[in-house]
Structure 1
Amino acid sequence: MKMIVGLGNPGQKFDQTRHNIGFIAIDELVHRHNLPLTNKKFNSVYATGMINGEKVILVKPTTFMNLSGEAVRPLMNYYNVELEDVAVIYDDLDLPAGKIRLREKGGHGGHNGIRSLIDHLGTKEFKRLRLGIGRPVNRQPVVDYVLQRFHKDELQDIVDSVKKSADAVEAWLQEPFLNVMNDFNR
């Protein structure tokens, strides 16, 4: 069983904001494979089902971003999901809008959702799909920037990156993550 976790903040106020691109990517997978997020447990909404012959759990933590690990660890334990079978999708300020980058491990890079996951999982070694949201301009505070909706001129790039991240997840369900990384990081 593979667990794909999209990071974001719960509630309509945060819907479609930069920080919630992980949620948007999970929604893309939900839509593609008709797996509704009807399960609620351990501070998460999630779907279980099959994608490309692999049993999956698609997860949106309902904790706020900074507490994401509090939702993910209990779900992993409940479903007996191994760390190597977890992938996390989240926003990255250091990538331009529309770019994606896959990694097998790494630090938190200042991302509090990833920091929480590292703390609760006890390791930095979990698969990541980083979706670029760009950096703020004109000295706008980062906290304000990540909670903004995307600008019209970015929307097509964001849609493309979300679709590409869903493609990468689907590929990972059929081949080793390292191969997927090599294909999608070009």
Structure 2
Amino acid sequence: MKYLIVGLGNMGADYEGTRHNVGFNVVEHLAKEHNAEWKDMMLGDLAEIKHKGRKIILLKPSTYMNRSGKAVNYWLQKEKIKNSNLLIILDDLNLPFGRIKIKPKGKNGGHNGLKDIDQMLGGNLYARLRVGIGSDFHKGQQVNYVLGQWTDEERNDLDKIIERAAAAALSFTAIGIHFTMNEYN
């Protein structure tokens, strides 16, 4: 069985350590945990890991968040992976900081990365793992908040949150979406 786990984010030093890149942080954690090396490939950086007999391709799209669908669709086709074996990991303003939620499908919730993936895949029938970044911003400051750096207080808890999200992603590949939802939601 082969899986594609995609962490959403933006490439480049300007975006490192921002809330919007928490998807990148989760797949980076998975790669590090499994001693996998990242390779600069077409439309993104890839690493490959194995877990419980499954081959898992980790992807950090280089297309920027708003064009993530191009990279996701390319690697699904190239690796011949079904949408049912796709997991997208992203930041979510609608969840309290630190909460994670995994679902088998769903709406884009205003997230531009998911909007583009939905468009490129022709629908929303793929799993997504949302990592709550909270919504502690004033009206009109959403973009600054999402693209802002974690606070010191948030950083204190971030490693545990990333570890939990990474464990949920591996659970998805090992025991499926429904059991994973029961365990992690």
* TM-score normalised over the length of structure 2: 0.96
Report if aligned partners of 1:52, 1:170 keep a CA contact under 8 Å in 2. no
Hey, what's the Cα distance between the residues in 1 that align with 2:85 and 2:58? 12
Where 1:9 maps in the other structure, the secondary structure is: coil
Q: 2:145 corresponds to which residue?
A: 145
Q: Which residue of 1 aligns with 2:37?
A: 36
Shift of 1:47: 1.1
In structure 2, what is the equivalent of residue 22 of structure 1?
Answer: 23
Which aligned runs of 4 or more in structure 1 are off by greater than 6 angstroms?
none
Q: Over aligned residue pairs, what C-alpha RMSD do you find?
A: 1.1
Q: Which residue of 1 aligns with 2:86?
A: 86
Q: Is residue 45–residue 60 contact of structure 1 (8 Å, CA) maintained in 2? A: yes
What whole-Å deviation, never above 9, does each CA across 1:30-52 have from its counterpart, x for those lacking one? 110011111412x1110123123
Using the alignment, how far apart are the partners of 1:169 and 1:138 within structure 2? 32
Q: What is the CA–CA distance in structure 2 between the aligned matches of 1:21 and 1:117, rounded to whole Å?
A: 17
Which residue does 1:50 correspond to in 2? 50
Equivalenced residue count is 184
SS at match of 1:123: coil
Structure 1, unaligned runs of 5 or more: none
CA shift, 1:19, in A, is 0.3
Q: Which amino acid aligns with 1:22?
A: G
Q: 3-state DSSP class of the match of 1:22?
A: helix
Identity %: 35
Question: 1:60 aligns to what SS in structure 2?
Answer: strand
Q: TM-score, normalised by structure 1?
A: 0.95
Report SS of the residue matched to 1:173: helix
Distance in 2 of aligned mates of 1:72 and 1:35: 20
